[in-house]
Structure 1
């Protein structure tokens, strides 16, 4: 205390400021610790039919052992509420268009957009179309969530910080969230809008190189630039703020026949690619009951194992990249703005009013409540007038998408997959899926492998969905959907394997149009090459070999463009260390690769000089430039190579043609080297991982200083848009390449006799609570492409999973939201 006697002010500060803060902090932390789930002991819950045992392993993964499948779904709802309650809250509010009630005015554009789409109304219409077992699963899941809410336990930190009280979960909430999930996989309207805006500013010859599947001289059917800009900008906002949609939403999935594997049984691998978020959208679970077993990845908000395996089959999915959304420009009556022309006749728009409650800015409790925001929502026979949500009232645009059709049975298909025992039952489940359009890879215990496409693909009378079309012209009306019997599929191909990586799914002889927006073939080619290499080798394919394939970071397109660019450089550049590294580089986007960092900045600067500078001159407003910048970011390395090889002198800004392009390549490389020097200093320290960081965003606290460090995560990451281990990123001047899309889980499944092997890794952790050790305990292992094992049911009786065991026992009928 001698030091304090000399400094009485310091003593007072410690006693009156620091000590109370420390005590308050300790008390707050202790209280919040109570929000962590109970994982052991007995709990009596309402709505359960019989006792359920939940054994968690060391990674927090639950093994549910129930007396019936419906009790297993109940338990999964209870578990999702235990571990991901805030995520459930966000999911429901997003689907309903009610984020503004808790996040304030900044979430209003998203709410207006969702109210306009009316996903919740569409979900209500889906309920009667479902079978009784499918509805029962949704109800059981909701009962499980509500049973946990009924215990009135301490809520996770987000609820305390935002002053939110969760409401009972309703089965329709799950169906509406599945609509959001489907919308995330169906982004062709944004692609259409981006393409339209870029088309306005490129000469026909240059357009043909970038969009070579679309005729250069094809007319733009309608003039709707303001509306298309707004639609494209909303797509960017949904991607930036919520991680929804985007060019890189996709997946890898492949299956290999037992004739090529070490144990003689099929192997199936799957890794979906979506927006990175904290926590992951996915939740690992193993559900078992007499006559029922499903293990793998569940989506928080749904009662199902969406991708995984049961006792007989395994399945994994990828985005088909199908063009299932069309934008129709409405011809409205100037005298009656709520009437539009269709099929040669004037029709009335359906009009309804929506009221959105908006929380005031912080501190909301000390401010006068804001008046509700009232909006008018219009709907045509084609679909919602989405331009109203963007205030593009001068040019009404409607969205047509199968996911908004009444009586959607997509959930039925996902539900049935867990019960399928063979190829026929698998296809019967897929047949009722409406949206999203997906590729599903298959393997079974009888050593069959296959692939089948699912979802409704429109049959168009005219046009192909590439650009917006006039609603008044009956030629552009949809003529129904591609029959499921005519969807792409294959069973037991002669090659002994099947690969799906968002690449083109059918050849030129296929009779139906699916898309022009396939992912570049690089990932599919690389996976195919690795499988073929393993098959031709001395040994046979093992689970461990497939795991390594999922972590492959070689970018075939980068390597191809790199070779061409090096050929453009002057001889004087060949002696520099970076150029020597590039010459020796094989396209690996590993974290420690200096050449990967050099190439990525080189490509970024080349795009700037060849495209962005051109669009900067053409654009006449901020929104337009933002949309064009997003379009350029999606231009692939092979598109750049085509541009440089074309001899089109305008790309390089002069009459000198190839000479000018060579000068641009050289100048862009110098720009890249200067930036790397600024970022990482001496060449010996250059690494792709230091320039390229995976960013896992939390809604809403990633935007709040200090809290972003608690709830969000950043980690150096490998990969690129075209590597098997996908990493889609955007360059930000103060942050480098920020990866916001990538693999969100990985699993490899063997269908060996008995239970085989099931290996997995989630991208973050099982918990959504930052106070839990399972909040981010999978983050580093996932980044290193490591795997954990899901154990077979016979190996996990109560207490044998390596962790705690929680027993749920029935107490009384459920009291909560019921359909």
Structure 2
């Protein structure tokens, strides 16, 4: 027996030693790819020496003798910290994820190949002027210099993820940078999904009820639309509802996460210090590391500092000494779905205004790790690429004998957006910035701009020139062969909404409706916000003058106007009714919840129980209202729609009919449904978070999930690479934390302000910024998540263009010299 024990002890000891040695070797190999920020390197492609000074937050300040050398340095810094992130974004644009991830990403690759984003990006490079191409070439050379340094020095392949995926790293090219812009456009538009959803709902509901569930943003000027069946000969609505889960690696986002942001500015007369202020917090899906990367570049026209996206060598939100700018999603209707009629005698042809025409076709081979490659045929029409019905539920709105094609501004093969971005970096006045951005194509953005003495807002991006007689006004798919449904190029740039030197001294955007103009100059029928704008307006107008601190307070504001508006409506017949129910009964739990909500001010604080009760109530309430009318389609409305709920409980145009359950013989009232939904919500809360309502914390449910797209689900590794934080805010607060909406954690915070910046011209060096994780994409680096704790607490770091401050307490200075 003792002998067996000794051998077991030896085996266990050997196993533990082996595991320890494997862990040590793995750590050593992985840590080799952590950059040495104090290195002195000789690299090819430089005209003169470049200094990359990394301040104590690891923000690179890049100095060189020419602008090309500065962009070279930015490419080098991006690659040092985010090479894996950059290569994954490039693979997504190229439709080549399956080469390393296998069958899980085939559907994503197929869709991206059909869009043709990378081909359009490659074609667009020749449309850029020589100077912009030179800057993109220099940036690419900087990225490639780091790749060469990694290969020559055996520096862990540049990132730990590359050990798991043995593909070689292709050199970076200017087309890759242009493609990054097109990937951003894909992430920030939801108009295709909106068209398909509206068409699908219109096939199930009468027009008044369609106006309830997909309401127009309040305001005059929108005409009623015909139903979809009268536009396209679809016949009987197809049965079922196709759903497929989106891979975390896919840049395609559901309609509910199509982009958002906040930006506002105050002119000197509304600034306490007498100089302009600007705040910006663009919203994207959370990842680890975050999408954003802080940087400063010292150009011939002066220093520029702010937020970049690795792969794109320009400051997208930030400031120079003369100008500050921020971006928000404009919600421009930049996409149209066309139903293309097939030739019955030859399905390789489609109908055009002048007769039948053959599709433009091309074969594309998708290589798949661990499986045989597949070949797909890409087809295009005059309107755009053909998309199969298996994507975006297009099969549910495509009539027999037709296929769907997509018109989209981002597919332009003459995309000059990068040239516009370079012009913005060098602009010294509002007018110069606006003029430079005329060349911007996609994604369409509201650009908020400030000089020390002035402020402005301009929508930038190509606005499709639609015919006033368009059958659906771009709100639903339309027949592609009808001349009135086709685009006639781009509207003149001066038609893009413009606001300069507002009389009130303050302007801003929360993705709200910006203009009330008739179609086709309307910009959009679908807007990203109707709630945050109300809170923002109140915060701006309750102060005569603003400061950097008041702008920060507004960015971090957690009060929900939605809660303050809807609670009195949905609970008006439930407050304080009847005697106190016995303890332990559903009635008593309901009374306790109502007592808490009655004394709540609508603040979505992570430390309070009321936000969780309110959020769960609204979710169960909307589900109760829509599921019998919409059936399986109700899954598309996983997030509460405030305008819909308000219409129902105010009985606007008979909208209270939603409260009656069509399948039951009883006549349910809105009070009945509100009570039932609250009881269901409390049962769900009890099962998931406990029945002691006073002890609930919104932050336990509303964790910000910054997950690694590849390693985030791998056992053990996920505890290293994922960053989870308890957070305040919600779907409708200025501190926006968009919830996931789906089980098992429907209130997880998955989409919000990965970057925040406040720029103050009264004291430019007191301007501040922050990102949601850290500068490094390396999980073993101390800069992987060091900014995340500050971000969660609502703190910032200084944004200074003073070289001396950058050098003080720096974490390293990289010196690059030209190779002989």
- The two structures have a TM-score, normalised by structure 1, of 0.91
- Name the residue aligned to 1:587: 602
- Name the residue aligned to 1:549: 554
Q: 1:691 aligns with which of 679, 683, 701?
A: 701
Per-residue CA shift, 1:572-617, capped at 9, x if unaligned? 369622211111212211101211111111011111211124433x
- Name the residue aligned to 1:770: 779
- Name the residue aligned to 2:586: none
The alignment status of 1:381 with 2:382, answered yes or no, reads yes
CA positional deviation for 1:398: 0.4
1: distance between equivalents of 2:679 and 2:606?
A: 22
Per-residue CA shift, 1:642-679, capped at 9, x if unaligned? 12322445412358999522111001111111222222
- Name the residue aligned to 1:349: 359
Q: 1:641 aligns with which of 646, 658, 662?
A: 646
Q: How does 1:52-91 map to 2 (within 5 A)?
A: 52-91=50-89
1: distance between equivalents of 2:237 and 2:74?
A: 43
Q: 2:318 aligns with which of 304, 308, 329?
A: 308
Q: 1:146 aligns with which of 124, 144, 147?
A: 144
- Name the residue aligned to 1:678: 687
- Name the residue aligned to 1:288: 298
1: distance between equivalents of 2:236 and 2:24?
A: 54
- Name the residue aligned to 2:587: none
CA positional deviation for 1:560: 0.6
Which piece of structure 1 moves more, 160-169 or 429-438?
A: 160-169
- Name the residue aligned to 1:132: 130
Per-residue CA shift, 1:190-210, capped at 9, x if unaligned? 111122222222233311222
Say if 1:157 and 1:769, in contact at 8 Å, map to a contact too: yes
Say if 1:504 and 1:518, in contact at 8 Å, map to a contact too: yes
CA-atom RMSD in angstroms: 2.5
Say if 1:186 and 1:245, in contact at 8 Å, map to a contact too: no
CA positional deviation for 1:27: 1.9
CA positional deviation for 1:708: 2.4
Say if 1:207 and 1:216, in contact at 8 Å, map to a contact too: no
Gaps of 5+ in 2: 217-222, 581-590
The alignment status of 1:752 with 2:757, answered yes or no, reads no
Q: 1:694 to 1:389 in 2, by over 3 A?
A: same
Q: 1:566 to 1:239 in 2, by over 3 A?
A: farther
CA positional deviation for 1:742: 1.0
Which piece of structure 1 moves more, 260-269 or 654-663?
A: 654-663
CA positional deviation for 1:4: 10
Equivalent residues, number: 783
- Name the residue aligned to 1:176: 179
Per-residue CA shift, 1:789-815, capped at 9, x if unaligned? 122234346x42532111111114xxx
Q: 1:452 aligns with which of 454, 458, 465?
A: 458
2: distance between equivalents of 1:658 and 1:76?
A: 66
Q: How does 1:355-394 map to 2 (within 5 A)?
A: 355-360=365-370, 370-387=371-388, 390=391
- Name the residue aligned to 1:803: 811
Which SS does the other structure have where 1:467 is aligned? coil
Which piece of structure 1 moves more, 61-70 or 212-221?
A: 212-221
2: distance between equivalents of 1:519 and 1:689?
A: 24
Q: 1:120 aligns with which of 99, 118, 124?
A: 118
Per-residue CA shift, 1:103-124, capped at 9, x if unaligned? 1001000000011011111012
1: distance between equivalents of 2:305 and 2:747?
A: 35
Say if 2:619 and 2:639, in contact at 8 Å, map to a contact too: no
The alignment status of 1:397 with 2:401, answered yes or no, reads no
- Name the residue aligned to 2:6: 8
- Name the residue aligned to 1:597: 612
Which SS does the other structure have where 1:418 is aligned? helix
The alignment status of 1:407 with 2:408, answered yes or no, reads no
- Name the residue aligned to 1:621: none
CA positional deviation for 1:287: 0.9
Q: How does 1:361-760 map to 2 (within 5 A)?
A: 370-387=371-388, 390=391, 395-445=402-452, 447-461=453-467, 462=470, 463-508=472-517, 512-535=521-544, 540-569=545-574, 571-572=576-577, 576-616=591-631, 625=632, 628-630=634-636, 632-646=637-651, 647-648=654-655, 650-654=657-661, 660-681=669-690, 682-752=692-762, 755-760=764-769
CA positional deviation for 1:779: 1.6
Q: 1:32 to 1:122 in 2, by over 3 A?
A: same
1: distance between equivalents of 2:724 and 2:122?
A: 38
1: distance between equivalents of 2:51 and 2:308?
A: 19
Say if 1:205 and 1:216, in contact at 8 Å, map to a contact too: no
Which piece of structure 1 moves more, 299-308 or 155-164?
A: 155-164
The alignment status of 1:108 with 2:78, answered yes or no, reads no
Gaps of 5+ in 1: 361-369, 617-624, 813-819
- Name the residue aligned to 1:265: 275
2: distance between equivalents of 1:167 and 1:648?
A: 57
Which SS does the other structure have where 1:777 is aligned? coil
Q: 1:698 to 1:57 in 2, by over 3 A?
A: same
1: distance between equivalents of 2:711 and 2:655?
A: 47
1: distance between equivalents of 2:709 and 2:423?
A: 32
CA positional deviation for 1:502: 0.6
Say if 2:215 and 2:643, in contact at 8 Å, map to a contact too: no
Which piece of structure 1 moves more, 140-149 or 777-786?
A: 777-786
Per-residue CA shift, 1:505-547, capped at 9, x if unaligned? 1134797121111123221221221122222xxxx42212211
